[in-house]
């Protein structure tokens, strides 16, 4: 018993999982938290000191050179990346457990088995991150059921990177950046417009993917709430200035395997269709594009092949679209010759 308590530990200083058994990040069970079982910061320092001693004792006189970590990219990493080459940003937004990371993983897992959606894998700066997120779906994890570790709040905004090349036209090569952030933050943003301006992934998005969690839709208790949550998110993003007439938004219903297995599946599907129609009526005029998709990224029953519906979505992300030009009037007095020049210039030239 003493041993089992000692094994309960976490690298986050403020987490009291060792005492209370409850994870500060809200993971249940606690071992699903990425910090669980890690050494606490103090322990790591001690360990590093030990390591330093080993080296100084001449275990190796080799000089070691750092290599890229392969972890998901921070916004600062992204800035460095963009100095060298452009990238296509797909921001995936959804409630906790709605399938954000699973969607990304399903794409990566397909590439491990061969070309996907007409594209070849050309590299990734975040292979370690993708592998860590895929682990719970692998046999090596010795799990009985595929799962995805939850993205923790403290990780903030991160991006997974995938470089791909069109199988038909080798000149068409893309660097895709797929956002990853804990769903709790989007829940907070839904209740506070001011948070929206801090969500970098919305402004950066070439495609904004809003997930409608099929598991919640399948549950009569949560059905209306999940739809309302998505509607509110869209409204808040628009009102908070995150989205505008240039934005391309995709509403994606996830886990449709759960919906098709319901005895009343037709009625539920009709309900989803009505919901999508209402979104179209209410929000499409305020957006550049609003489209609707259905996927089953990882159906445990095997009724749907892995990444069902994802190939079409993936191809759409990589379909170049002409920029949506927003015409806006100059505000303020026209003073300089440059102001006058701007007035005479067609807006599509500026874009």
Partner 1 sequence: MTTVRHSIIGLPRSGKTTFLAALWHLLNAGEVPTKLELDRLVGDHKHLNAIVESWMQCEEVQRTSIAAETSVSIYVHEPATGRKAMLVFPDLSGESFERQLATRSCSASYVELLQGLGGVLLFVTADRPEDGMTILDIGSVTNEAEELRSSGDANDTQEWTPQSVPQQVQIVELLQFLQRSPFEMRKRRVAVIVSAWDVVAESQRSPTQWLEGELPLLYQFLETNIESFEWRVYGVSAQGGDVKSEQRDELLNAIPSERITCIGPGSRTHDLTDPIGWLTAED
Contacting positions for partner 1 (CB under 8 A): 29, 31, 37, 62-70, 109, 111-115, 120-124, 127-128, 131-132, 134-135, 137-147, 163-165, 170, 173, 298-303, 306
For residues 194 and 330, what is the distance between their CA atoms, to the nearest angstrom?
Answer: 26
- C-beta separation of 106 from 298 below 8 A: yes
Least CB distance from residue 139 to partner 1, whole Å? 5
- Give the side-chain half-sphere CA count within 13 A for 133: 26
- Give the side-chain half-sphere CA count within 13 A for 67: 6
**DSSP-assigned letter for residue 264:** T
Q: Which residue's CB is nearer to partner 1, number 123 or number 241? A: 123
Q: Which residue's CB is nearer to partner 1, number 174 or number 292? A: 174
Q: Which residue's CB is nearer to partner 1, number 170 or number 327? A: 170
Least CB distance from residue 308 to partner 1, whole Å? 12
Q: Which residue's CB is nearer to partner 1, number 47 or number 334? A: 47
CA angle 269, 271, 274 (to 5 degrees): 110
Least CB distance from residue 108 to partner 1, whole Å? 9
- C-beta separation of 243 from 290 below 8 A: no
Q: Which residue's CB is nearer to partner 1, number 43 or number 348? A: 43
Least CB distance from residue 73 to partner 1, whole Å? 14
Q: Which residue's CB is nearer to partner 1, number 142 or number 344? A: 142
CB atoms within 10 A of CB 189: 23
- C-beta separation of 164 from 124 below 8 A: no
**DSSP-assigned letter for residue 95:** S
Strand partners, 165: 120, 173
Least CB distance from residue 142 to partner 1, whole Å? 5
Least CB distance from residue 53 to partner 1, whole Å? 17
For residues 172 and 84, what is the distance between their CA atoms, to the nearest angstrom?
Answer: 17
């Amino acid at each position: 018993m003493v041993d089992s308590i000692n094994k309960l530990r976490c690298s986050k200083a403020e987490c009291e999982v060792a005492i209370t058994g409850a994870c500060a990040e809200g993971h249940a069970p606690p071992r699903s938290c990425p910090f669980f079982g890690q050494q606490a910061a103090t322990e790591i320092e001690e360990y590093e000191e030990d390591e330093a001693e080993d080296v100084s004792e001449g275990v190796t006189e080799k000089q070691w050179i750092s290599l890229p970590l392969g972890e998901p990219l921070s916004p600062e990493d992204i800035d460095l990346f963009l100095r060298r080459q452009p990238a296509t940003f797909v921001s995936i937004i959804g409630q906790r457990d709605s399938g954000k990371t699973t969607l990304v993983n399903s794409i990566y897992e397909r590439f491990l088995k061969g070309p996907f959606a007409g594209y070849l894998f050309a590299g990734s700066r975040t292979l370690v991150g993708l592998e860590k997120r895929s682990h719970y779906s692998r046999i090596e994890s010795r799990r009985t059921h595929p799962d995805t570790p939850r993205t923790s709040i403290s990780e903030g905004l991160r991006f997974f990177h995938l470089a791909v090349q069109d199988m038909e036209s080798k000149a068409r090569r893309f660097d895709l950046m797929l956002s990853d952030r804990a769903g709790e933050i989007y829940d907070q943003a839904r209740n506070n417009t001011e948070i929206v301006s801090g969500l970098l992934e919305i402004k950066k998005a070439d495609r904004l993917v809003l997930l409608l969690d099929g598991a919640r839709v399948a549950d009569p208790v949560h059905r209306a709430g999940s739809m309302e949550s998505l509607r509110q998110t869209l409204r808040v993003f628009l009102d908070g200035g995150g989205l505008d007439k240039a934005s391309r938004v995709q509403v994606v219903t996830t886990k449709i395997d759960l919906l098709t297995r319901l005895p009343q599946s037709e009625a539920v599907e009709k309900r989803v269709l009505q919901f999508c129609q209402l979104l179209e009526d209410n929000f499409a005029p305020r957006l550049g594009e609003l489209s609707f998709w259905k996927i089953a990224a990882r159906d445990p029953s095997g009724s749907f092949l892995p990444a069902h519906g994802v190939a079409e979505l993936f191809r759409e992300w990589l379909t170049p679209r002409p920029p949506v030009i927003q015409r806006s009037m100059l505000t303020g007095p026209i003073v300089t010759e440059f102001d006058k020049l701007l007035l005479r210039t067609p807006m599509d030239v500026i874009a």
